[in-house]
Amino acid sequence: MKFALLEPDLAELDRVLEILALSGHVCFGASNDTAFRNLLSEVSVDVCLIDWVNPDGCRYETLYQLTQSGSAVPVVLCVAPGTPRGVIDSGLRHGANFSIEKPFSGVESIDYLYIWEMNGFTRSRISGNRIM
């Protein structure tokens, strides 16, 4: 799969990109919304992973642009264990397909994405599963 990752923590961004690349995936990353949107205007991906720990207006705008584009790329919200349910639900209501919890834990985390892909990228939330 080809992933695009929006993660403001540069160390975490590098770590996740490395895990995905070592698993045989093509990965692109950005640490802010503007760079992420620019990246997506230049490359096509299968899945977008976006940080949703503390979404601001800019992050909601990014989500809106992703879900309104003609490409219909699935969007995964990457949340922290303590992210309020209302924040997660808001992202799902605004068009995200799925939410997963950070931190990314390697092969197990990638397995959840494969299962989700095999189910046709249906909308859901997997609580307790830690990805990123």
- pTM equals 0.83
**pLDDT tier at 20 (50, 70, 90 boundaries)?**
confident
pLDDT at 131 over 50: no
Number of domains the chain is built from: 1
Structural domain boundaries enclosing 105: 2-130
- Residues 31-87 have pLDDT tens digits of 999 999 999 999 999 899 999 999 999 999 999 999 887 667 899 999 998 999 999
Residue 76 class from Cβ within 10 Å (0-12 exposed, 13-18 middle, 19+ buried)?
Answer: buried
CATH number at residue 37: 3.40.50.2300
**pLDDT tier at 130 (50, 70, 90 boundaries)?**
very low
**Res 121: pLDDT:** 58
